[in-house]
Structure 1
């Protein structure tokens, strides 16, 4: 989450008048994250999240995301569907951007998850994968393995301004990952971004899964690899917690058993997920507007994770 587009109180109040959510009391921008503009909005009818979709989220993909949220909510998962206005629409235009209103869910995103919280969150991911088997829609992963080399080339030698020699290091590892990438593992719609800040919890209970705007059709075990890399390290990509990593795999597998092939592929899938987030963070680092209310993410935190996975193939044993 972030704020690139500023929304005036007058424009927001007018936007809300088309919904049965009460009158505007307050709105506050959310600086965390890097993808869309987000606000916490309090009205006389409750608390909501307002999202304005920025350039990385294509307007043509929004019906897929809205249908996905509805499907998961209807399946009983703690996922907030978008609120419809009085004309039954979920996507409106605000300050020149596509926008939607989503009900605020209770819970907090944990900064330092425990093994018990990791296990519960991974089990919820497995339940999500099960629910999505009946979804019936698909979306290509435009942040998948086929897109990493073009993104590397777009970043170019500017990567070396982040860290000396970074372009060549990523280029070498990416070539090895591309050559080893599995082609025959089970696929389905995945979240593709289930970091701790996209899981709301009360104690060890998962109360919300949020931010599905990278959801796509890809290898299911890749979703677990993304989660593994984002949960078991600290913010700098250091101090991996082996017990927490084991809890993630165990929590997922107790709901959806992993095949021998899926387990064997997890190390390369984890390296791929590190390349994906290293490159997208680097791109944002190099191209974020100076006046954006946004917390940039350190791409080197994923270079450190990548190095760890390269030297610890036993991480998923």
Structure 2
């Protein structure tokens, strides 16, 4: 989440009048995240999230995201539910951008991740995968292996501004990933951005999953690989095998992993690290001046990629 587009009071009042959600009491920008403009909208009835879709979001794909949240919520997954306007439509236009209002989930994300949080995440991720299995729409993952080289070419001329040898490491790693990327693992609906700030907890219980705007159809195990990167490293960069083990065991209790999926995890984890190294590098070099957004350090994922390059098999992730 972030704020790139400022919404005036008059524009906001006119927009909210198209819904039956009460009178606006307050609207505050949310600075976390990097993709869309988000506001915490408080009416005299309850709280909502107002999203204006920016940057990499293709407006033609918005019905997929909105429909997916409806689908998962209807099947009992705790996730935001798109709010229909008075005309029944869930997508509208605000300040020249596609926009929607979704329900507000109670809870907060944890900055200090413990093994308990990882143990909660595993089964919740597996349940999300199972509940999404009969979602009728599909969406190609534009930020998977086929999309990484174009991103690299976009940052290559300035990569040395981040790290002197960054371009050389990425070029060699892309050659490896493109040659070795698996082709026949189980495919389904994945979140593709399941970072701690997209998972809410009430006390110590997982209370919801948010921000489905990277969701797509891809290898289910790739979602797990993203979470190995996002949840299982300590602030000092050390990999925590206990966190990985409890997350994976929790997942496997709900949805067993095939031998091929387990074998592929180290390569998928390298690919997930590459994906976020590239997008963070692009954002680091191209974030608009004055945008209310926290830039994320791309070198965090440089270091994670180097770690995964040294993994010989899935057992090193704590898998029993």
TM-score of the two chains, using structure 2 as the length reference: 0.96
Q: What does residue 289 of structure 2 align with?
A: 290
SS in 2 for 1:163: coil
Q: What is the number of residues matched between the two proteins?
A: 316
Deviation at 1:240, TM superposition (A): 2.1
Structure 2: distance between partners of 1:177 and 1:275: 9
Deviation at 1:96, TM superposition (A): 0.8
User: Is the 1:53–1:99 Cα contact (8 Å) retained in structure 2?
Assistant: yes
Deviation at 1:316, TM superposition (A): 5.1
SS in 1 for 2:184: coil
User: Is the 2:241–2:318 Cα contact (8 Å) retained in structure 1?
Assistant: no
SS in 1 for 2:293: coil
Structure 1: distance between partners of 2:232 and 2:74: 31
Q: What does residue 169 of structure 1 align with?
A: 169
Deviation at 1:85, TM superposition (A): 0.5
Instruction: Map 1:7-46 onto structure 2 (within 5 A).
Output: 7-46=7-46
TM-score of the two chains, using structure 1 as the length reference: 0.97
Deviation at 1:268, TM superposition (A): 0.2
SS in 2 for 1:27: strand
Moved more, 122-131 or 198-207: 198-207
Deviation at 1:310, TM superposition (A): 1.2
Q: What does residue 211 of structure 1 align with?
A: 211
CA RMSD of aligned residues (A): 1.1
Q: What does residue 253 of structure 1 align with?
A: 252
SS in 1 for 2:289: coil
Q: Provide, for residues 201-260 of structure 1, a one-character-per-residue CA deviation record: whole Å limited to 9, x for no partner.
A: 113322111100000110000000001100112457x12222111111111111001111
Deviation at 1:80, TM superposition (A): 1.5
Q: What does residue 79 of structure 1 align with?
A: 79
Structure 2: distance between partners of 1:28 and 1:254: 40
Q: Provide, for residues 30-66 of structure 1, a one-character-per-residue CA deviation record: whole Å limited to 9, x for no partner.
A: 1111000001111101111110000210100000111
SS in 2 for 1:239: coil
Q: What does residue 303 of structure 2 align with?
A: 304
Structure 2: distance between partners of 1:214 and 1:316: 28
Q: What does residue 156 of structure 1 align with?
A: 156
Q: What does residue 98 of structure 1 align with?
A: 98
Structure 1: distance between partners of 2:210 and 2:44: 23
Q: What does residue 272 of structure 1 align with?
A: 271
Structure 1 spans left out of the alignment, 5+ residues = none
